Amino acid sequence: MAQQAYMTETDNGGSGPERRGDRFRRLVNRLLSGWRDDPRIWRRGVVVAAVALLLAGVMLLHSRIPNAVGNLGSLTETFLPWLGLLIPVLLLAGVLRRSATALIAVLLPAIVWLNLFGGLLTDKQSAGGDFMVATHNVNADNPDPTGTAARLAASGAEVLALEELTASAVPTYEKALASTYKYHAVEGTVGLWSKYRLTGVKAVDIKLGWTRAMRATVATPDGPLAVYVAHLPSVRVKLDAGFTARQRDTSADALGEAIVDETLPRVILLGDLNGTMNDRSLNAVTSQMRSTQGAAGSGFGFSWPAAFPMARIDQIMVKGVEPESSWTLPRTGSDHLPVAARVNLTTSGS
């Protein structure tokens, strides 16, 4: 009798997963039949499709957007990854409009975005690396410089760069970092702390009239390493002037020239560049160095603002060494997140 009852239940449509599967298939078929029977699916959603094509064009041709008016090109490139958030919005609009035209058009910006940033979605970090570096814009108004220094020292970095140092805060950082870093040098508002001897310390002129960049040779166990620390001028977004970055751009060109003239084959740049790797205005630097985040990071590694990071403007870049991993460190009292990287000094990078 029990077997007969089971067979009767099965004959009436099944139970459990089978019945739920049938319901789902019927729902999908009902939705698809509604689309198939609607002659307007190709005529609706033209506006959504047009916006999708425009979005794809902006991402694909971002380097062609002129900087002549308010540095609009650089502004777009600074927040370029975030344009991807419009794709699911357009996709939803296409579904709600029941527009086949819109849904097909949305594929184009999705493909462009994945081509530009899909590589950042994978974890490229490795367990290798024989040398760790870190950099942090500590913020001139940092309410807890001692705590900030303690967290940075605990990171394990052999070399640590600090930007936006004030004259009054330098002694605090020197005292807090002394037990971890035997050597250090400060030039203007930037400083370098190292577990290894520093030589050739000098300010780097980035055309500001005051010092916000420096260079030193670190005597690592694997030989000399040129380390640059830089804090490029801030940029502003103003309603009347757009993205004001002329001073930053001039300093980036000067920094690039200094690195070109570097005689050591292995170079690391640490600092707040106030720009992303997509920003064409940093080409003087980015054209000759590799970003550790792009080469060996996981995710976008956004570093600013610390409360809700939206852009990677704090950079670790290398030339002549191989990046193995890159990441952001926990938040301190600054409005930036510290960033760190581990590199291999015994393997030459491209």
What residue segments make up the domains of the chain, in order of their start? 38-121, 131-344
Q: Give the pLDDT score at 133.
A: 98
Residues 6+ positions from 345 with CB-CB distance below 8 Å: 130, 131, 220, 222, 223, 225, 266, 321
Task: Tell me the fold of 131-344.
Answer: Deoxyribonuclease I; Chain A (3.60.10)
Q: Kindly report the pTM of this predicted structure.
A: 0.85
Q: Give the pLDDT score at 22.
A: 77
Report residue 184 as tokens. 């250090």
Please say whether the beta carbons of 65 and 58 come within 8 A: yes
Strand partners for 263: none
Residue-by-residue pLDDT tens, the chain, 350 positions = 444 444 444 445 555 666 666 776 765 565 555 565 667 788 889 999 999 999 999 999 999 998 877 778 888 999 999 999 999 999 999 998 889 999 999 999 999 999 999 999 999 999 889 999 999 999 999 999 999 999 999 999 999 999 999 999 999 999 999 999 999 999 999 999 999 999 999 999 999 999 999 999 999 999 999 999 999 998 866 554 445 578 999 999 999 999 999 999 999 999 999 999 999 999 999 999 999 999 999 999 999 999 999 999 999 999 999 999 999 999 999 999 999 999 999 876 65
Q: Give the pLDDT score at 9.
A: 45
Q: Give the pLDDT score at 233.
A: 92
Burial profile 291-330: b = 16 or more Cβ within 10 angstroms, e = fewer: bbbbbbbeebbbbbebeebebbbbbbbbbbbbbbbbbbbe
Q: Let me know the angle formed at the C-alpha of 192 by 191 and 196, rounded to the nearest 5 degrees.
A: 160
